[in-house]
Amino acid sequence: MPAVSPFPGAWHTRVDGALKVTGRAPYAGDFAARGLAHGWVVSAAIAKGSIARIDMRAALAVPGVLRVYTHKKRPGAAWFNYKYHDAVGPPGRPFRPLRDGRIHFSGQPIALVVAEDLETARYAASLVRVEYRPDAATIDVERVRESAAEPTKRRSGPPPEPRGDAAAAMASAPLHVDHEYRVAIEHHNPMELQATTVEWQDDGKITVHDKTQGVLNTRSYVSAVFGLSPDKVHVVAPYVGGAFGIGLRPQYQLFLAVMATLDLQRSVRVTLTRDQGFSVGYRPDTLQRVALGADRDGHLQAVMHDAIAGTSRFEEHQESVVDWSGLAYQCDNVKLTYRLARIDTPTPTDMRAPGATLGVYALESAMDELAHAAAIDPIELRLRNYAERDQNEDKPFTSKELRSCYQEGARRFGWDRRSAAPRSMRDGHELIGWGMAGGIWEAMFTKTSARASVERGGHVEVGVATSDIGTGTYTVLSQIAAHTLGIPIERVSVKLGDSSLPQAPVEGGSWTATSAGSAVAAACEALRNDLFKSARRIKSSPLSRSRFADLRLVDDRIQHRDDHSRAVTLADVLQAAGVEKLEANKTAKPSLIGSKRAASYTHSAIFAEVRVDEELGVVRVTRVVSAVAAGKILNPITARSQILGGVVMGIGMALFEETQRDDSLARFMNRNLAEYHLASNADIRDIDVVFVDEQDDRISPLGAKGLGEIGIVGTAAAIANAIFHATGRRVRELPVTLDELL
């Protein structure tokens, strides 16, 4: 049987676009349910301590209030901690809502008021009175850095073992860079709030509409915590209004909504406010020290990278922050360390390109400092230290076109017109700065299953349990199915985000298009072959002696490529097979041998132009060029959108986003979109996305690499480096604010 022809990577607008722009795409808080009640969360006003007394009488007296749940009045749930572990959670003791009267972080849920309607629940919640016994708390990693220690259990592997003698090489190197870098805490703040709608069915089954990046992870959590058989829990999340990692793990509104539904035996919805969303995870506060040693020509002699990251008191959230410094550039002497400092906050959460966003910022800032110290062009310095292999694992790359990213990005940006000296480029009262940085992210391919089916009329349906969090998964999978079967995309529909569909991992890590796409291609290829076999087996079939390569699926018929009169209808094929529709299920997974022999990454080169008002210190990012090597580009439109989104988040990281702390209260203060500053339309100017050609036949059957993360990695560093070039002032703590430049 012939293989499917290579996927062409065609432009196509989003197949779900009309649903979204007309408001018809349903999100977790939109689903209607018979007899729906509403829950409102009461949040803790202190960061640490215990509840001395909680008075619910006034709330319960409000007409329409059904229940007020607290730690003293909570229906049964699993007792053992391991029942609350989810598929992507870190080691430790997962947070258990309303377990007891202890307060672990500011904003912790301490009560749930359920009423007939939302406004009644909200009003009654304001009547709940709580007395506390507060304890001293800290949320500043700097204050507890001396107690930082290596994780007791690893979420993944530890940083690579030291190679060579970094300390000795550093001491003998003629050029040194040794500084500390820090990025402010960031919160995800997607458009869709955290919400769960649970539908109660009379047979005791529940349908859970959750704001999640993994419906199977949600189902496993609910089943384990509440002792339900998985077949009694149906999780549906067809659309996710942005997540960026906050939807990877079950959040506490899921527990509360399911708990109330099972207790009341009626449907319940719980939606968190924007303020409460600041109590369900964030990008961790991380202190980083990067030391580079080089010879006079800029060749690296030593790399040392140490990171101290904040985590909660009850779990050990971990990220690969320092590993990138061991593989991005050629160096024989490397030492990488990673430690955790416990603070009184919720557990941090993966946030777009976790670890790399922080670690690559520090590394690429240090490389720019080294380029300035050595008087070498920043691109030339990187080329002199270009790594041809993954030195951390001593493996070749499946592909690496980073040189092409440097070359094409520099050409599009006009880098050759850059004046090297800081403060040497200006336009009137504005200083102009040009900076660049490199980006890197893992290219992953994970085991995923898919189902493809065709009905008598020729309509094809594809199903995968994975989620579409706004990245264009519906569109890309529709394209892959249509191409594999040789039919128009209009004849394909895709179902996602449903726990009854074939299994898939959580949507994250930039692996979904590659993994789910490979599974869909395999399922559609199997379906096509089954159809062609059945068409040839029909008694007196005009296609009985046809080669598979000569057969085509056209509308509701299978016909010969050269003689369209030789054809059979799908109805005849299905009738002969004795079924109403023909279905194929396939699983795609990486080769264990291949993954052991080679390393796969997506690479980028980012170029940024800033203008800095010399008198006011105001910074504007006026141009960005992001050149990306990501294997096969499956859809240039949705691919470009992913990079645009990543760059915008990188601009926010560099200039705007900062979760501000009140250390005396141990509380995050700007818990709203008025004071938590995100990049807006007025902040974003010209962004040029360039995809360089990269062939990779080893990463996956599609030859594609993920794009969700690579757009943000390195972007903040390029902007910070441009600010230094404009002003001559190096700021090593993000976001860069005008007070640091005046």
- The answer to whether the beta carbons of residues 615 and 633 sit under 8 Å apart is no
d(C-alpha 42, C-alpha 107), whole Å? 8
Is beta strand 448-455 parallel, antiparallel or unpaired with respect to 581-588?
A: antiparallel
Alpha helices in 230-329 (DSSP H): 252-264
Full strand arrangement of the beta sheet holding 430-442: 426-427, 430-442, 601-613, 619-629, 686-691
* CA within 13 Å, CB half, 662: 10
Place of tokens 């005046």: 742
- The answer to whether the beta carbons of residues 303 and 322 sit under 8 Å apart is no
Radius of gyration of the chain (CA): 28
Alpha helices in 347-396 (DSSP H): 356-374, 378-384
CA distances from 137 to 16, 280, 666 (A): 46, 18, 6
- The answer to whether the beta carbons of residues 511 and 445 sit under 8 Å apart is yes
Respond yes or no: is residue 709 known to be catalytic: yes
Give phi and psi for 168, each to the nearest 5. -65, -40
Task: Name every residue whose Cβ is closer than 8 Å to that of residue 119 and which is 6 or more positions away in sequence.
Answer: none
Terminal CA-to-CA distance of the chain, rounded, Å? 69
| Token pair belonging to 440 | 């890197």
The one catalytic residue in 319, 364, 369, 709 is 709
- The answer to whether the beta carbons of residues 141 and 283 sit under 8 Å apart is no
| Token pair belonging to 218 | 């949600």
d(C-alpha 20, C-alpha 239), whole Å? 9
**Residues involved in catalysis:** 709
